Amino acid sequence: MSIMSKRFREGVSKRLTTMLGTYGGSRHAKWLLLAPALLVLVGLLYAPTAFILQESVRVGSHLGLTHYASVVVSGYYRSVALRTLGIGLLVTLLTFALGFPLAYAAVRGGRLLGGAIVVATLAPLSVDLVIRTYGWYILLGQGGPVPKLLVALRVGTVESPPQLLFNTAGIVVGLTHVLLPFMVFPIMTVLHTIPREYEEAARNLGANRLGVFAHVLLPLALPGIAAGMLLVFTNSIAAYVTPAILGGSTQTLATEITSIFTTTNDWGLGSALAVLLVVVAVCIIVGYQRAMEAAGGAIGGTGGER
Amino acid sequence: MATASEESDGSRLSAGVGAVADWAYRLLVYGVLLFTVAPLVVVVLLSFRPNPYGNSVFSAGWPSTTWYANLPDLLASLGFASSLIASLKIAVVTTILSLLIGGLAAYAIVRKEFSYSSLLETVLISPLVYPWLLMSLAILMTASYLSGAFDVRISMSFSTLLAGHVLFTFPYPIRTIGAGLQNYDDELDEAARNLGATRLDTVWNVTLPLLRPGIISGAAFVFILSFNQYIISLFLSGTSIQTVPLLMFNLIKAQSPPQIAVLGTMLMAGMVALTIVVEYVAGMSRYI
Amino acid sequence: MSTDSQGRVEYADVVKEYGDVTAVKEASFTVEPGEFVALLGPSGAGKTTLLRILAGFEETSGGRLTLDGRDVDAVPPHERNTGMVFQSYALFPHMTVRENIEFGLKRNGFDGDEIDERVETVLSMVDLAGYGDRKPANLSGGQQQRVATARAVAIEPRVLLMDEPLGALDKKLRDQLQVELTDLQSDLGITTLYVTHNQSEALTMADRIVVMSQGRIEQIGTPTEIYDAPATRFVAEFIGDANFFEGDLDADGESFTTAGGTTLDVTYDSAPAGTPCAFVRPERMDLAPRGEGDGANVVAGTVENVRFVGSTTQYYVSTVDGRLLVERQNQRVDAAFAEGDAVDVTWALADTRVVTDDPADGA
């Protein structure tokens, strides 16, 4: 299977290359097409990132790990980093728990419901983050609709209603809302490619709903789920606006880094925290690609070759 | 006999469980839908509130259009017009540049052969997962370092803002246009050539019209993301430019709920309308 | 330029290489004006490559390709005036049927009224008058095929190039369109190069067939020549059914001893090079009860399997020379044989052909 498609792809690209090679000018013309993008990347992303890296290990006029040491030693920064990762993990799980049923309903629930879900998921994405976050600020705030509802449901009392704003809970709710589309759409894309007959076959062979989900949908939708989780996790640990508005004095790495740069101007410490954030993100991405390659091998059914 | 009745009880029971599961599932789906629209709806409801303070949405006198009636004064007092113009300007220029840069790159990686094409692709779309905060900080630090170390004055202005916006948006057209190119039947181009069309003629009248959904979706993503960008604009716009998201954030920090609700409702209406139109015309949700 | 010199195609030692892979090895043949030539062979034989070279989508790696005496190498695709029908039809999905046809007309020097007129003409030519305002997506596969053909012939190309044009259709529609396409081609008198891997399509439609395998031309000839006098074992195997006998030509050159020990009377034009084998078409063989067989060649055997196919019946007969396929017309009900019958398989001297193994296969 994979060999065939590879050969097919090579054939197609060979044909294309001949075609374009004939009319498309020199061998190096293709790099000209990439030049603007690469220029932007190197000049505005990679070089500046290298500069941050250098700043994080520069102590006065020589190199040293002082800044990293002060991050590791400080209980405060450790707790901020752990809180940030915890929020990322929780938001990833919540968006999956809410996003998968929604994606499934959008794909299998008929045209009307499907269209409604796509619009309801897509529309908030286009609205200014600040406005959306403000909506939660009202909903979750003291005397707001959500605490009132919870008190009515006997969660907390009128005297001490549940606190949902200016703490981790507020950040988690806000980020779950902001990042839900990034979970829903990749899963929808994959679910569209899974024929309904697979589910019917599983039911026919005696699987219940849970069995169909666990043994058919979950494994087949894994690439979409993993892509969604990757997007949600990396975005949630780096988010600024939502924690800044809904977190109050509860800091995450992003708000902490921002306040270091805007108030104390301690470049070394700020850079060290920034590098930590990038390292976590890169590890997640590399891990994702490894996992996808492994899963591709298993799903692709090339047998014991890998 | 007994076995038969047990069986029917069992199947009745499992049918009952199925019905309950069905309802639970439906409840969950509508609950999540409510969750996605709740913060938007509450902002709209709030904009019709007569009194400016407190967190309760409905109060005596609701709905009232007081705040809308005073809209011109409100906009003028906030300097909203200049913010809107700044945001539109940056969003439009960013859209044009990112479409060009991303479109060319998409064409290159789909249609040309490179030795490490998958690595190259990952590198090209890496800004998608790179934290916005760090992008802008890195640019800010580098610019201020260069200003100090050499005699180049790089101050935060429209051009640094534009640089940051292009950096974080150009991978989106690579994805949307690249997807279109990947599904493109190359025989269509050959058919056009065969029927007497020159290369340019073919690109203009056959290739581009067929890539239109990807181009429109890419443009919409870039425009919306650029228009709504907060953190990158915060660090790279300098003191003279205040985009709409910066203005809105400051309003929240200054605790001015009614203004936010009214402005938010109007901005929301514009953006949601744009999104629905683009979704209908080009199916942009496919590209997320 | 006189009209009767329009559309003469000449391939002279044309070579096409992709890196280390040779897709076409020194192909030479000529297509005369108005002629219908089929390029026939299995996939990967290089047929489509020959077509794409003529359309200008591929460059030759060697040799010369001329259209009406003019070297086409330096001519870009849009100036070659070749009308191509693609396997996928390649109808522009964003244009109506009319716009698809106009696309070529506008770029080939037709103007105003002439365009409208040509659109109507070619649409009625393919029985699709009144379909001009539809989008391709709203047409059936057969209708899409007709539009693709109409679009290609509308520009009055010097040569019509068809790349497996019926490959995506079911058998019944394919049969019908084979007839329609042949009629259209002969009505227009347009030089046609037709790529197919379907041997019956090539046999029924073409004036001449170029049989290709692994980039090499195996044989060029009329359908009858190709069927009755295949030049190589590959051609004999690829076109129609055949019973093969492995063995050796005897010194006298008039008989052939099979691996099973049977001696067959054979005829051949010239002493073949390479490993020879004898072959006979199933419909040229007949059956007789054991001992009653009469003819130049007789092989004894037992009926193993009988397949009723409608107008004919196929008998699989096991013999010392392996299993033979015999196909008999169903007109003599009395002469039927059953499984297990002891029979003689008989055929005439003229129906026993000797071909050689493809040298490329032996290597």
Q: How does pLDDT run across C340-362, given as a tens digit for each residue?
A: 999 999 998 888 888 876 544 33
**Chain A residues in contact with B190 (beta carbon < 8 A):** 19
**Any bridge partners for residue B238, and if so which?**
none
Q: How does pLDDT run across A39-49, given as a tens digit for each residue?
A: 999 999 999 99
Question: Domain range spanning residue B268?
Answer: 66-287
Residue B12 confidence (pLDDT): 67
| Residue B92 vs residue C269, higher pLDDT | B92
pLDDT for residue C253 is more than 90: no
Range A49-61 average pLDDT: 89
DSSP string covering chain B, please? -HHHHHHHHHHHHHHHHHHHHHHHHHHHHHHHHHHHHHHHHHHHHHTT-SS--SS-S--TT-S--HHHHTHHHHHHHHTHHHHHHHHHHHHHHHHHHHHHHHHHHHHHHHHS--TTHHHHHHHHTGGGTS-HHHHHHHHHHHHHHHHHHSS-----SHHHHHHHHHHHHTHHHHHHHHHHHHT--HHHHHHHHHTT--HHHHIIIIIHHHTHHHHHHHHHHHHHHHHH--HHHHHHSTTT---HHHHHHHHHHTT-HHHHHHHHHHHHHHHHHHHHHHHHHH-GGGG-
* Chain B CA closest to residue A183: B288
The answer to whether residue C361 is domain-embedded is no
Angle between helix axes A111-126 and A168-192 (nearest 10 degrees) is 130
Same domain, A201 and A287: yes
Chains A, B: CB contacts within 8 A come to: 259
The answer to whether residue B166 is domain-embedded is yes
Same domain, C204 and C348: no
Q: pTM for this one?
A: 0.80
Residue A207 sits at the chain B interface (C-beta within 8 Å): no
Range B56-74 average pLDDT: 75
- When divided into structural domains, chain C yields a total of 2
pLDDT for residue B226 is more than 70: yes
Same domain, C113 and C16: yes
The answer to whether residue B100 is domain-embedded is yes
**Chain A residues in contact with B279 (beta carbon < 8 A):** 118-119, 122
Q: How does pLDDT run across B107-119, given as a tens digit for each residue?
A: 998 888 888 877 8
> From the CA of B211, how many Å to the nearest CA of chain C?
11
Q: How does pLDDT run across C7-23, given as a tens digit for each residue?
A: 899 999 999 998 888 89
Chains A, C: CB contacts within 8 A come to: 10
Chain B interface test: which of A13, A26, A134, A271 (most B C-beta within 10 Å): A134
The answer to whether residue C3 is domain-embedded is no
**Chain C residues in contact with A19 (beta carbon < 8 A):** 57-58
The residue out of C228, C258, C278 marking a domain boundary is: C228
Residue A299 confidence (pLDDT): 34
* CB contact (8 A) between residue B40 and residue A135: yes
Residues 161-180 of B with CB under 8 A from A: 163-164, 166-167, 170, 174
At B1, the pLDDT band (50, 70, 90 cuts) reads very low
Same domain, A96 and A175: yes
| Two structure tokens written together for B6 | 């047990």
Tell me the CATH number at B262: 1.10.3720.10
* CB contact (8 A) between residue A238 and residue B133: yes
Q: How does pLDDT run across B160-172, given as a tens digit for each residue?
A: 999 999 999 999 9
At C3, the pLDDT band (50, 70, 90 cuts) reads very low
Same domain, B224 and B92: yes
Same domain, C109 and C197: yes
Residue C222 confidence (pLDDT): 96
- When divided into structural domains, chain B yields a total of 2
Question: Domain range spanning residue A16?
Answer: 2-63
Residue A74 confidence (pLDDT): 87
Same domain, C109 and C13: yes
Range C49-66 average pLDDT: 93
Same domain, A105 and A53: no
Tell me the CATH number at C318: 2.40.50.140
Residue A145 sits at the chain B interface (C-beta within 8 Å): yes
Question: Residue C7 has what DSSP assignment?
Answer: T
Question: Domain range spanning residue C157?
Answer: 9-228
The answer to whether residue B54 is domain-embedded is no
Same domain, B71 and B36: no
Same domain, A121 and A247: yes
Same domain, B42 and B73: no
Spatial separation of the C-alpha atoms in residues A117 and B250, rounded to whole Å: 32
Same domain, C16 and C152: yes
* CB contact (8 A) between residue A55 and residue B141: yes
Same domain, C151 and C218: yes
What are the start-end ranges of the H helices in chain A? 2-23, 29-41, 47-56, 66-73, 75-108, 111-126, 129-140, 145-152, 168-192, 196-204, 209-212, 218-238, 241-246, 253-259, 267-300
Can you tell me which residue has the tokens 């047990």? B6
CB-nearest partner of A127 from B134, B164, B271: B271
Cβ-in-10-Å burial (0-12, 13-18, 19+) of B3 comes to: exposed
Largest CA distance in chain B: 98
Same domain, C222 and C316: no
Cβ-in-10-Å burial (0-12, 13-18, 19+) of B249 comes to: buried
Residue C17 sits at the chain A interface (C-beta within 8 Å): no
Q: How does pLDDT run across C256-271, given as a tens digit for each residue?
A: 888 888 888 887 765 5
Same domain, B6 and B73: no
Same domain, C195 and C260: no
